[in-house]
């Protein structure tokens, strides 16, 4: 005959399990979404995104077509006096830079060093989504060089289509989870909300301390 000792802990757990099994089913109250969706139209999201970004010293340049976007980008580069642009190699960025002088655009490469990125006049990036409620740009950065383009150059131009507008971060979550589920993708997501700014020193607002001093969103498409 073998005797099995039952500890006090085991006895308590057995009683708890028995009580749960014989009691009524536990019903949790419905949880209201933190960010409910109002299903806004593209026009409504644009009307929210533009002033939100402007409030944090960001800029928006509108272009109805990709052809107009190319002209707007050329004018922006000439007016700012930029001479070298570092760019994420994305289809939309390739399209938008088609009329810039040859050799001005340098496509992000694995051998780029931070000092090299820092010396660029500006960066050109494409976001995963634009978040209308905060005027933010959600950018997927699969490489270290892509991430550095978000921070080191003194100016950053985000090239995006109207279709990339999302009501808020939860509305963009399906695209985020799809990217995160792909085992072939690496890197991280960066959220840009206007140019870098701080007021740590005597509460005086200073732009460009921790990132680009200027952020421009080139938004392509008709409302």
- The CATH number linked to 122 is 3.40.50.10420
Number of domains the chain is built from: 1
- Cα 97 to Cα 45, 64, 77, 86, 193: the distances in Å are 26, 16, 11, 11, 23
Domain presence at residue 63 = yes
Q: What is the pLDDT of residue 208?
A: 45
Of 206, 211, 174, 205, residue with least CA distance to 191: 211
Mean pLDDT of 135-158: 94
Is 50 exceeded by the pLDDT of residue 161? yes
pLDDT tier for residue 206 given thresholds of 50, 70 and 90: low
Q: Are 166 and 39 in contact (CB under 8 A)?
A: no
Q: Using CA atoms, how far apart are residues 206 and 213, in angstroms rounded to an integer?
A: 9
pLDDT over 70 at 156, yes or no: yes
Residue 201 inside a domain? The answer is yes
Mean pLDDT of 66-76: 98
Question: Rounded to an integer, what distance in angstroms lies between the CA atom of residue 16 and that of residue 29?
Answer: 23
Beta strands per DSSP E along 53-193: 59-63, 85-87, 105-107, 122-125, 129-131, 136-141, 155-161, 165-166, 188-192
pLDDT averaged over every residue in the chain: 87
Q: Tell me which residue of 177, 209, 214, 176 sits closest to 194, measured CA to CA.
A: 214
H or E element that contains 148: helix 144-151
Weakest mean pLDDT among 26-30, 58-62, 191-195, 200-204: 200-204
> Residue 211: pLDDT above 80?
no
Instruction: Answer yes or no: is 65 within a domain.
Output: yes
Residue 209 has pLDDT above 60, yes or no: no
- Give the span between the Cα atoms of 164 and 128, in whole angstroms: 7
Is residue 14 assigned to a domain? no
Residue 154 predicted with pLDDT over 90: yes
Has residue 22 been placed in a domain?
no
Question: Among 69-83, 111-125, 151-165, 166-180, which stretch is predicted with the lowest mean pLDDT?
Answer: 166-180
Q: Report whether 88 contacts 146 (CB < 8 A).
A: yes
Does residue 128 fall inside a structural domain?
yes
pLDDT (0 to 100) of residue 197: 58
pLDDT at 6 over 60: no
Q: Tell whether the model's pLDDT for residue 201 goes beyond 80.
A: no
Percent of the chain with pLDDT over 90: 65
121 part of a folded domain: yes
- Phi and psi dihedrals of 39, rounded to 5? 50, 60
For residue 97, pLDDT over 70 is answered with yes
In a domain, 18, yes or no: no
- The segment with the largest mean pLDDT, out of 16-25, 31-40, 177-186, is 177-186
- Distance of alpha carbon 115 from the chain centroid: 24
pLDDT at 147: 93
What are the distances in angstroms from CA 5 to CA 11, 14, 22, 198? 10, 14, 26, 64
- Which of 23-32, 158-167, 182-191, 212-221 has the lowest average pLDDT? 23-32
Domain of 123, in residue numbers: 40-220
pLDDT band for position 7 (50/70/90)? confident
Instruction: Please state, in angstroms and rounded to a whole number, the distance separating the CA atoms of residues 15 and 110.
Output: 61
Number of CB atoms found within 10 A of residue 209's CB: 13
């Amino acid at each position: 005959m073998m005797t099995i000792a039952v500890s006090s802990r085991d006895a308590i757990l057995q009683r708890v399990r028995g009580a749960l099994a014989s009691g009524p089913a536990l019903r949790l109250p419905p949880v209201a979404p933190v960010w409910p969706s109002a299903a806004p139209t593209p026009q409504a999201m644009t009307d929210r995104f533009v002033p939100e970004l402007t409030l944090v010293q960001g800029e928006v340049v509108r272009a109805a077509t990709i052809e107009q976007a190319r002209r707007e980008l050329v004018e922006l580069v000439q007016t700012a006096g930029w001479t070298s642009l570092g760019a994420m190699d994305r289809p939309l960025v390739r399209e938008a830079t088609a009329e810039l002088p040859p050799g001005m655009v340098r496509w992000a490469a694995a051998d780029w060093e931070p000092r090299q990125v820092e010396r660029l006049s500006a960066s050109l990036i494409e976001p995963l989504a634009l978040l209308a409620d905060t005027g933010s740009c959600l950018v997927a950065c699969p490489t270290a060089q892509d991430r550095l383009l978000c921070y080191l150059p003194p100016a950053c131009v985000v090239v995006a289509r109207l279709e990339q507008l999302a009501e808020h971060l939860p509305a963009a979550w399906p695209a985020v989870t799809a990217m995160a589920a792909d085992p072939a993708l690496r890197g991280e997501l960066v959220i840009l909300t206007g140019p870098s700014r701080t007021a740590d020193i005597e509460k005086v607002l200073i732009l460009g301390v921790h990132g680009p001093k200027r952020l421009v969103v080139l938004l392509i498409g008709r409302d």
